[in-house]
């Protein structure tokens, strides 16, 4: 189950100007876009503006070896398209290409090739003797994300208690 190809790009602005236009900062780029999804990552108090954009799959692989300037110019084109000309006024860029990180080699969750989950998925959360698995992949819901990690941890803790005390405690 290798990690997917993923990059995250933040454009930092003086303020979250899109909020003045009643925009949420969320956008989805379809055909021809470099950025597939954006979110408003500004602090609650709006003391500065930040839009995060995801570079995913083929778009990320294509840009694994591109210069940061090239990525900035492609992302800027999308942001102006999504949020208007003020999106040009970027103060700072932060680019993280998880594909190029030695110890994760991608993100943001492990991808199962065909048949993996249907054939072996049930083994992910099965204890072996007194060894219990609590990783996000063991969660039946939001596997691969923080939500799944917390759920899997709670389920594993319940299962350990069941095992050790013989008592059945509530499941999520
Ligand atoms: C690039 C990237 C971006 C992500 N973005 C998001 C996001 O935006 N939203 C979201 O919800 N999720 C995101 N995720 C996924 C999220 O980070 C994971 O789902 C979550 O951290 C998994 O938690 P976990 O407890 O299962 O495992 P981990 O967080 O991997 O924890 C396992 C821990 O075990 C330790 N360990 C390993 N082997 C041993 C050993 N032998 N002995 C002792 N300790 C050991 C490791 O060092 C690690 O600290 C992202 C993941 C990546 C890689």
Q: What's the CATH code of the domain at 148?
A: 1.10.10
Provide the domain limits for residue 148: 116-165
The single residue listed with the structure tokens 């210069």 is 67
Q: Are residues 131 and 68 in the same domain?
A: no
Q: Which residue has the higher pLDDT, 164 or 126?
A: 126
At a CB cut-off of 8 Å and minimum separation 6, what does 135 contact? 124, 149, 152
Q: Are residues 67 and 130 in the same domain?
A: no
pLDDT of residue 132: 94
The answer as to whether 135 is a domain residue is yes
Report the distance separating Cα 80 and Cα 85, nearest Å.
5
Atom 6, ligand 1: residue with shortest CA distance: 108
The single residue listed with the structure tokens 């080699």 is 105
Residue 162 token pair: 């069941």
Q: How many domains does the chain have?
A: 2
- The CB density around residue 30, as the number of other CB atoms within 10 Å, is 6
- Is the separation of the CB atoms in 148 and 142 below 8 Å? yes
Torsion of CA 45, 36, 100, 88, to 10 degrees: -60
Q: pLDDT of 2-46, one tens digit each?
A: 999 999 999 999 999 999 999 999 999 988 899 999 999 999 999
Quick check: helix, strand or coil at residue 156? helix
Q: Residue 47 C-alpha to ligand 1 middle, in angstroms?
A: 30
pTM: 0.81
Cα 35 to Cα 2, 43, 132, 143: the distances in Å are 22, 22, 39, 24
The residue out of 100, 126, 144 marking a domain boundary is 100
Q: What is the CATH number of the domain that holds 73?
A: 3.90.660.10
137 is in an annotated binding site: yes
pLDDT of residue 172: 47
Q: pLDDT of 128-143, one tens digit each?
A: 988 999 999 999 899 9
Whether ligand 1 lies within 6 angstroms of the CB of 53 is answered as: no
Whether ligand 1 lies within 6 angstroms of the CB of 104 is answered as: yes
At a CB cut-off of 8 Å and minimum separation 6, what does 90 contact? 11, 12, 13, 72, 76
């Amino acid at each position: 189950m290798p990690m997917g190809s993923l990059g995250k790009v933040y454009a930092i602005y003086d303020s979250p100007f899109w909020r003045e236009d009643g925009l949420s900062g969320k956008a989805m780029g379809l055909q021809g876009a470099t950025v597939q999804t954006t979110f408003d990552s500004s602090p609650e108090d709006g003391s500065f503006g930040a839009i995060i954009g995801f570079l995913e799959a083929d778009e990320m692989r294509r840009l694994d070896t591109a210069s940061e300037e090239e990525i900035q110019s492609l992302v800027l084109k999308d942001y102006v398209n999504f949020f208007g000309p003020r999106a040009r006024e970027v103060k700072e860029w932060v680019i993280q290409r998880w594909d190029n990180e030695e110890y994760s080699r991608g993100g943001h969750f492990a991808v199962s090739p065909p048949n993996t989950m249907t054939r072996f998925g049930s083994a992910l959360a099965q204890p072996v003797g007194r060894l219990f698995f609590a990783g996000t992949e063991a969660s039946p819901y939001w596997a691969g994300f923080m939500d799944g990690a917390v759920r899997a941890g709670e389920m594993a803790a319940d299962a350990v208690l069941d095992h050790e005390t013989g008592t059945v405690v509530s499941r999520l």
